[in-house]
């Protein structure tokens, strides 16, 4: 049996966009064991992917090298005798673990000074192609054509556990989830969530991180920002009749759970990081300066989000298929 190790991205959204790669690897090597090595804040997402046999959490803080600890973990991984590694982040330090582990085939994009650390090297396509396609290319040999369309990400939900989570938070069977935050920066945050919440004809739950609690409190409804674990947030999203979200990790989670979703884009592009679900509706004005991928509007006018009105979002909520609470529709 082949043993494969995937070095995961550090962002929740990127983790979901990596799942089509895992699906393609499972199709090509149905008997292979696929393990993921991931930061603790991303690990719960991979544990809900049926393609993943095991998840190894890394103890490294974001941005820290900690070379000695990486070497020790690499030597521990060596005993597991992996046949091939797939390194998804582009950094030099992300490629160290498979090299320390002596994994014979180490696949990934050229990235920053990684020759030698990687020995099956891929080159990025020109421009910004869809991130899911960028990752999925690693399932083929470098330069080979990859079959499309890619499969949609899909996360497992334990219906009883999800119901218990909703009851623990005292939620009714009928509610919408609003996600007004975006870890990357202000330029990805639509400014009218409070007005939208006041006009939705169902109870509103607001999700986000602890750092976004004040932002989420201003929306109204039930503010659970910073009060849930990632697993609990997943369970609450799984029960939502509707989700409206900026381009964020919560948007990608909602798509992978098959929820009716309206995804709002401003400074980023839905061509690069779209929600991968037929039940998602994307709103993006695509004005002349968008996408700029800046954390804050470099021109100061923020038109890409400010000119996306509440009426447009409300109209989009009427175009997504609604499923009973708790159903994924997949």
Per-residue model confidence (pLDDT) at position 322:
54
Domain boundaries, the chain: 3-139, 159-317
pLDDT, tens digit, 9 for 90 and up, residues 272-302 = 999 999 999 999 999 999 999 999 999 999 9
Sign of the torsion angle spanned by Cα atoms 132, 138, 139, 145: positive
Per-residue model confidence (pLDDT) at position 328:
41
Residue with tokens 């009973």: 324
Query: CB-based contacts of 7: which residues, under 8 Å, 6+ apart?
Result: 37, 85, 86, 87, 88, 89, 94, 95, 97, 98, 108
- The CATH number of the structural domain formed by 159-317 is 3.40.50.2000
Q: Residue 254, SS3?
A: helix
> Is the preceding omega at residue 314 within 30 degrees of 0, hence cis?
no
pLDDT, tens digit, 9 for 90 and up, residues 227-286 = 999 999 999 999 999 999 999 999 999 999 999 999 999 999 999 999 999 999 999 999
Q: Identify the burial level of 219 via C-beta atoms within 10 angstroms of its C-beta, where 0-12 means exposed, 13-18 middle and 19 or more buried.
A: buried
C-alpha distance from residue 178 to each of 35, 109, 163, 195, 197 (Å): 33, 35, 19, 12, 8
Per-residue model confidence (pLDDT) at position 323:
47
How far is it, in rounded angstroms, from Cα 76 to Cα 82? 11
User: Which residues pair with residue 281 across a beta bridge?
Assistant: 262
For the chain, the average pLDDT equals: 93
How far is it, in rounded angstroms, from Cα 80 to Cα 24? 23
Q: Which CATH number is correct for 3-139, 3.40.50.2000, 2.40.30.10, 2.40.50.140, 3.30.1010.10?
A: 3.40.50.2000
pLDDT, tens digit, 9 for 90 and up, residues 197-232 = 999 989 999 999 999 999 999 999 999 999 999 999
pLDDT, tens digit, 9 for 90 and up, residues 49-82 = 999 999 999 988 776 778 889 999 999 999 999 9
Identify the CA nearest to 105 among candidates 84, 80, 79, 81: 84
C-alpha distance from residue 142 to each of 74, 107, 135 (Å): 26, 9, 12
Q: What percent of the chain is predicted at pLDDT more than 70? A: 96
Per-residue model confidence (pLDDT) at position 249:
97
Model confidence at 310: pLDDT above 60 = yes
Identify the CA nearest to 328 among candidates 279, 276, 262: 279
How far is it, in rounded angstroms, from Cα 49 to Cα 295? 30
How far is it, in rounded angstroms, from Cα 167 to Cα 176? 16
Taking residues 306-327, what's their average pLDDT? 77
Lowest mean pLDDT among 23-37, 107-121, 261-275: 107-121
**Same topology between domain 3-139 and domain 159-317:** yes
Model confidence at 319: pLDDT above 80 = no
Which two three-digit tokens encode residue 35?
């393990």
Model confidence at 117: pLDDT above 80 = yes
Model confidence at 98: pLDDT above 80 = yes
Residues 23-35: b if buried by 16+ CB within 10 A, e if exposed: bbbbeebeebbbb
Residue length of the chain = 330
Model confidence at 92: pLDDT above 70 = yes
pLDDT, tens digit, 9 for 90 and up, residues 150-172 = 999 999 999 999 999 999 999 97
Q: Residue 33, SS3?
A: strand
Model confidence at 324: pLDDT above 70 = no
Spatial contact of 187 and 297, defined as CB atoms under 8 Å apart: yes
How far is it, in rounded angstroms, from Cα 220 to Cα 81? 52
């Amino acid at each position: 049996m082949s043993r494969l190790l995937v070095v995961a991205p550090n962002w929740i959204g990127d983790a979901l966009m990596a799942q089509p790669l895992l699906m393609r690897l499972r199709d090509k090597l149905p008997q292979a064991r696929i393990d993921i090595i991931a930061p603790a804040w991303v690990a719960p997402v991979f544990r809900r992917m049926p393609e993943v046999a095991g998840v190894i959490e890394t103890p490294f803080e974001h941005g820290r090298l900690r070379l000695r600890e990486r070497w020790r973990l690499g030597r521990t991984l060596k005993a597991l005798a992996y046949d091939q590694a797939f390194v998804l982040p582009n950094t030099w330090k992300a490629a160290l673990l498979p090299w320390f582990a002596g994994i014979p085939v180490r696949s990934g994009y050229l990235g920053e000074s990684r020759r030698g650390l990687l020995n099956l090297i891929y080159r990025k396509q020109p421009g910004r192609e869809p991130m899911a396609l960028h990752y999925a290319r690693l399932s083929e040999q470098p330069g080979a054509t990859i079959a499309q369309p890619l499969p949609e990400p899909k996360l497992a939900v334990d219906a009883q556990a999800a119901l218990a989570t909703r009851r623990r938070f005292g939620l009714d069977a009928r509610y919408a989830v609003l996600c007004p935050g975006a870890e990357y920066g202000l330029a990805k945050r639509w400014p009218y969530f409070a007005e939208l919440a006041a006009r939705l004809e169902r109870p509103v739950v607001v999700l986000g991180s602890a750092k976004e609690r004040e932002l989420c409190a201003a929306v109204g409804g039930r503010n659970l920002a910073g009060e849930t674990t990632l697993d609990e947030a997943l369970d609450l999203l799984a029960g939502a009749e509707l989700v409206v979200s900026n381009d964020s990790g919560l948007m990608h989670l909602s798509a992978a759970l098959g929820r009716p979703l309206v995804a709002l884009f401003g400074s980023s592009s839905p061509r690069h990081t779209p929600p991968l679900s037929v039940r998602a509706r994307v709103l993006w004005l695509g004005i002349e300066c968008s996408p700029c991928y800046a954390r804050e509007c470099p021109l100061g006018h923020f038109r890409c989000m400010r000119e996306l009105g509440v009426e447009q979002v409300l109209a989009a909520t009427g175009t997504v298929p609604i499923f009973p609470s708790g159903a994924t529709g997949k």
